[in-house]
Structure 1
Amino acid sequence: MLKKIYLLSIFSCFFVFSQGKTIEVEYGIMILHEENLFENNQTLKSMLEKATVNAKNETFKLLLKNGSSKFFHYNILTNEQSNHSTPLFVNYNGKVYSVKDSIYLQSSILGENIYVKNKQKEDWNVTNESKLIDNYKCYKATSIYQVISPNKVFNHPVTAWFCPDLPYNHGPNGYGNLPGLILELQIRNAVYGIKKIIFDSKESFSLQELQNIKVLTEKERDEILEKGVLERK
């Protein structure tokens, strides 16, 4: 079915899109209630409650051009509206670039120009289940987001609703590699939902932005973070 949907999308929608243009996709964010989350940490629980309330004021953008993409947190808010802790609770650590079969995730905790290189997600389970999102027919795909801690491995559910009529294999926060643009993405209790699409955006996007970054593997990043923790003890 995956191949069939993809081919149908390409032939039915090819005339709508131009390789030279930047396409801009704007997403909102919603944080769903999760029972007993941070019950033993009142500081994090309080931060989560504020982030949940203020999530409606947050905006994320995805820029698409020539088969590559850039995802980032974009806000024009007053100090009273802005809640800088919200990205912490929606699995967002910084800008994400998708180039060919790789993604580059900003590791803002280490520095603005430090990125971690990963492969595109491949373990999607594409289903026949569908629904309309902003009058676009979308199909459901599921996967797992794995978090490995020193004492336990956590497998959090990921659900993506992608649209074959928008033939771009990209989505929020580096998720993609599906035969259509992801219009809605849920990672654990965080839901990115499309707000609007601009097919001829004035936003600038160039892969030259990646010329001055330092790229680490996940292992290298983890070793640096672990060393930092040990040095602070």
Structure 2
Amino acid sequence: MVESARRDGLRLLCSTEFFWGSDIGDASAHLIKIGCEGLVISTDPPHYFPSTLHRESMRALRDLINSLDVVVAVRSPETDVNIFSSNPYISEASIRSIEDSINLSLSLNADFSIIRPSNSAIPQNYGLVMSKLQRILSGVGRNAYIALELMGEGALEISSRIRERRIGFVYVDGRSPEGLLRSDRVVCLSIYSKSEPLRVIPGMRTSIPYLALYPKERGMHRADDVKRIVLKVKSWRESLL
């Protein structure tokens, strides 16, 4: 799990969004074949929303995961999600979609769940933020590990208020405050395939377990193109002291 993986340092997990629209099991198998060391399973609609996945696809994905020694994270939907919305219909629907992704993570026996509570910066009403997050986390078993993707300057305040050790944080390149990157509870760096790597800080290689790689844009990418990106990121990772 997450704590035991720290000795590996920036183990590369690749998002199924590189093969957007393909069968979830096929996408996962392709990513492992081209050199990814783990998976980030997308649950974004319309293709991968948990309630719309075919039972056969789920069974094949579960069998694949069980047969491979790879790290698996399930990521909550990003599209149209904002649990902090003042519109209760949006907030409630967002919470339910996140709960569905957590249930999928448990069903797959994934190593951890990545939760992005909102695609916008965290609001300054920290009492509201904490109550919404607590509602989601209260339904998660004690053995589950959650990594929150927090964006905007409010991320630092929220990370300081969350005490449970089973909850870590994801640093989103370009969208999370740099101060969060120095937290000893950052378990994953999220980067989007691009020409320049994110800023390196001392100890990054040994202190942060996972590096999550996403495409700039979702789509059906060519396997050779994805492989080149994976090799490039691995080369950058190896250059870290």
User: TM-score scaled to structure 1, two decimals?
Assistant: 0.27
The structure with the largest helix share of the pair is 2
The structure with the largest strand share of the pair is 1
